[in-house]
Every structure is written in C-alpha cells, then in structure tokens.
Structure 1
Amino acid sequence: MLSAGGLVRSRVLRLRGPAAGLVRWAGPATVSVPEPRVRSVSGVGGASGAGGWYGSLSDSAPVHLCEHFLVGVQQVSGLPWWLSIAMATVSVRTLITLPLATYQLLILSKVEALQAEISELAKRLRYEVSVRARERGWTEKQSRVQFQKNLRRLVSQLYIRDNCHPFKASLVVWVQLPLWVSLSLALRNLSLDQSALRGELAAGGALWFPDLTVPDSTWILPVCLGLTNLVIVEVFSLQRVGASGFQRLVLNGIRGFSVLMIPIAATVPSSMALYWFCSSLVGFGQNLLLRSPTLHRILRLPTRRSDSPYRDLLSAFIAKYYK
C-alpha cells in the first residue's frame, strides 16, 4: 500500500466533480442458405415431444436461428457434419466470444490498476471519518456506515471516470451462455427422429462416433470434455493466490460440475458432445491467447504483466501438483 501524504493528496485532487470532496455528511447473425439447396429444418423443436418450458425453449426463435446457421455452414462448406460442427464452433467462438473476452480482460485490467488508488482513498477516508466521529460523537456502527457509504460513492466515481465498471466484465457470460444453450438445443433438434436432416447427421460422424444422432458409447468424447474443462478450471485457479474460502468453494463447485458433465455428455447425441468438446477446447486456446504479452501490448493494458506467462503457468502447475 502506498503511503499517505502529498502523494495521496495529489491523487485525490485528480478526481473531478463530486469526488473532489471525500466525505459527504448526509446524516446517518444469421447465415443465408443458398436457395437451390435449402432443406427444411422448421418445426423440429415443436415436434420434439417435450412439454413445458423445455419444449418452449427448444422451439424458440434463437434455437431455430442456430439450426439454420448450422445447416448453412454445412451447405456452404460442403464438409461432413462432424467437421462442419467443429468449424461452426470455431467461427462462433472467434467472431463473438473472443472479442467479448478481450473486452473483459481490458475492463478487469483497468479495475486492477485502480486498486492502489482505491487503497489510498480508503486510508484517507478512514482518517477523516474518525475525525468527524469524534466531533459528532458517532458510535462505531455509525462511523462504519459513513465510511462504507462514502467509499462506495468514491469507488463508483472512479469506475465512471475510467469507464470500467466491473459489471461490464460479465458481458461475455450473458452472451456466451445463451449462445451455448441455443446451439446445443439446435443440434439436439437436428438429431431427433422428426428432423429432416437426421439421416445426414446419422452418416456424418467419424472415427469412433460415426452416428452423430446417438450418444458416444465409447465415452471418449465425454471424458475428453470433462478433462478439458478440468484443465481450464485448474489454469484459472493458478491465478488465484490466497483465494478466500468462498472462492475455493466456487472453484470446487465448478470442478464438480466439470466431472458431472461427463455422464451428461454420454447420454446426449454425439453431435452435442462434439460441440461441447470443441467449444471447451477453443475456449482453452483463447484463454492461453489472452495471456500473450504481445496482445497485452497491443491492448495497452494498464497493469504490468509477466513477459513469460506460459513458463510461469507451467512452473505454477508443477509447483502445485508435483511438489
């Protein structure tokens, strides 16, 4: 933590507007399909036989939009269905998820860079609250309320000043999760008996999963999915030094969900399991890409990053699991 004094005063004076006074004492895209080769995929969700909210979700507009997107990719590329699913996954993760993840990295870096300034403001604010508490005879609880209220106001003004409210960092989740669900249900609909394309998916597999409409009986895809998700979680956990009890609880919950996805993936059509595995694999690659020092220099991130992130990651992994 930086010391108070002239440096603290100079940083505080840079706040504009109401933040100049530390304390306010208030009182206590779709893909077009070539016309000659259009194949109907409408009505698949409605014929799924599922009722209630699940049936409505399977028959929703976003899911049908994803169906047409998948069919369009396969028709335009002319690739087998298994390779077309992989290609569609890479396209979505690259064109939609990667830019949002990059934006998330930029926001989080700005928030991290503000921590030193927030610490200085908190130190100065705590002193001023204690002085005013003695003058007005506040109790400890009243002093704590005044401190927390004014600190939240100052931190909010800092976020506005640097345009980096942490909520913006969650944008990638609000886009990626509905997209993942919609594409998963679209592949499920295309694999149903009522689908006009079921025959093509049944013959569109490869290697140990020749039929994309039935579950992978070898469990190779489900296990690969679970292992990839676990690696992603462990890489993320290596960034958390001195994690709190709640953070460790969340990480263990995600680990448990990653293991639970293995039997779930073994009960769904292979097309869905293939999409989930490809999505996790591309996501892992993008996480590694976002650690690149070159990318950080291009984005001009305000925080210092290691010049050898991959070596540091490998060293941290070895230190945690092999020593």
Structure 2
Amino acid sequence: MLVPLAQMPLFISFFMGLRQMANVPVDSLREGGMLWFTDLTLPDQYYGLPLITSFTLWVTIEVGTDAGKLSSQNLQTMKYILRAVPVLILPFTVNFPAAILCYWASSNFISLIQVGILRIPTIRDYFKIEPLVNHKPENLPIKSKGFVGGIKDTWTNLNILKCTFKHRATHTA
C-alpha cells in the first residue's frame, strides 16, 4: 500500500507539468500525437484515451492488488472502493489534455507488464520474493460479516460511542 503512495508525488509532478505544457502550448505537443489524437494539447474528442486510461487503471488495480484474494471485512470494503476509482475518475479525465492521458495510460501499461513479470516464479526466485501466504477465512480471528453487516456494526458502534460521550458529559460536569 505504501508503494502507490510513494509514487504519488512523481505522478502529480508529471500531471502538473504536462498540463502546463499543454496550456502554453508547446509546439511539439500540437503535432506530436498519433492515431486519432494528433494534438496532445486538446482533450480526446472520441473519448478513446479516457476509456483506455480508466480500463488499464482498473486492470492494474485488479492484478496489482490481488483484489480477488482480499478476505477481511476492511479489505473487502477497500476492494470495492478501489474498483470504483476508475469509474469515478472517467468523467474528469474526458477533459484532460491527451498528453496527460497518454502518459497515464502508458504508465498503466508499464505497471501491468511489471506485475506480470514479477509473477513469474523464476523471476520471483531470482529476486528472492517470498510467495504470498493465503490464509483460509475460517482460520482468521475475525469472521467476515459482509458489507451490510459491517455497516450495521459500524452504526451500532457509533451509537455506543455517542451514548458514552453523553454519559461522560453529564457525569463529569
């Protein structure tokens, strides 16, 4: 979880730099595109790049986080949130200059290749990467209650906390 956070300053720097270059505009960005997005300073009028970026981000999240193996309640909730991110950012990315989306999509493709390579057993052995331990859900100390059960428990805990604060406020004053 820390690796994506460590990459965030670099991504934000590239994002802001490419946005400023598109706003200037840099001449090579006006003619440096390919296929249907020849002008990298403008948003993609066919929405191809935003869709490709969102799709590759979704695949990167699915493959990179082993989302199917998350079992505890908190991790299940995180899985749903992470899966929603590509869908939620799509409306915002349609207005980004093509240069940003070109960078973002290519970065996602490189991440997918990296994850694929690091899953090869020979590569894992060479770099001494330990195999992921799969714990059976029935052996875990906390049993999964499902999404709705987790929400109900959270609501109950909030009500208990509220009553505790009220009790303290009336008995300490």
TM-score (norm 1): 0.38
* 2:68 maps to 1:238: yes
What amino acid maps onto 2:79 in structure 1? Answer: L
1:301/1:227 CA distance change after superposition, 3 Å: closer
Checking the alignment, whether the CA contact within 8 Å between 2:61 and 2:83 is kept in structure 1 is yes
> 1:215–1:269: 8 Å Cα contact kept in structure 2?
yes
By how many angstroms is 1:246 displaced?
Answer: 1.4
Counterparts of 1:270 and 1:226, CA distance in 2? 14
**Matched residue type, 1:238:** G
Number of the residue aligned with 2:39 = 211
Q: Which residue of 1 aligns with 2:148?
A: none
Identity, in percent, stands at: 29
Kindly indicate whether the alpha-carbon contact (under 8 Å) linking 1:202 and 1:212 is maintained by their aligned counterparts in 2. yes
Match of 1:187 in 2: 18
Cα RMSD, aligned residues only: 1.9
For 1:222 and 1:302, the matched residues in 2 are separated by 36
Of 100, 115, 123, 1:272 maps to 100
In 2, distance between residues paired with 1:252 and 1:188? Answer: 30
Task: Read off the aligned partner of 2:102 and give its amino acid letter.
Answer: L
How big is the shift at 1:292?
1.1
| Contact 2:53–2:108 (Cα < 8 Å) also in 1 | yes
- The Cα shift of 1:304 comes to 7.5
Task: Summarize the Cα distance change of 1:259–1:304 in structure 2 as closer, same or farther, 3 Å threshold.
Answer: closer
Gapped regions of structure 1 (runs ≥ 5): 1-168, 306-323
4+ residue runs over 3 A deviation? 301-305
Task: Quote the residue 2:26 is aligned against.
Answer: 198
User: Does the CA contact (< 8 Å) of 1:204 and 1:211 recur in 2?
Assistant: yes
| Preserved CA contact (<8 Å) 1:212 1:270 | yes
How far does residue 291 in structure 1 lie from its aligned partner after superposition? Answer: 0.8
State the one-letter code of the partner of 1:175: A
Match for residue 84 of structure 2 among 256, 261, 272:
256
CA radius of gyration, larger in: 1
- Map of 1:292 onto structure 2: 120
- The CA deviation at 1:299 is 1.9
Q: What is the match of residue 229 of structure 1?
A: 57
Structure 2 runs not aligned, ≥5 long: 134-173
Query: Post-superposition shift, 1:280?
Result: 0.9
> In the alignment, which residue of structure 1 is the partner of 2:144?
none
Q: Is the 8 A contact 1:233 1:251 kept in 2?
A: no
Alignment CA distance shift 1:204-1:226 (3 Å): same
What secondary structure does 2:60 align onto? helix
Q: 2:21 is matched by which residue type in structure 1?
A: L
1:232 positional shift? 2.2
Q: Give the SS at the match of 2:92.
A: helix
Whether the 8 Å CA contact 1:266–1:273 is kept in 2: the answer is: no
Q: Over residues 93-114 of structure 1, what are the superposed CA-to-partner deviations in whole Å (9 max), with x where a residue is unaligned? A: xxxxxxxxxxxxxxxxxxxxxx
Contact 2:124/2:130 (<8 A) preserved: no
In structure 2, relative to structure 1, the CA distance for the partners of 1:219 and 1:244 (3 Å cut) is same
CA contact (8 A) 1:222 1:261 kept: no
Alignment of 1:28-107 (within 5 A): none
Q: Which amino acid aligns with 2:111?
A: G
Conserved? CA contact 1:202–1:211, under 8 Å: yes
Query: Matches of residues 116-155 of structure 1 in structure 2 within 5 Å?
Result: none
Distance 1:272 1:289 in 2: 26
- In 2, the alpha carbon distance for the partners of 1:188 and 1:273 equals 10
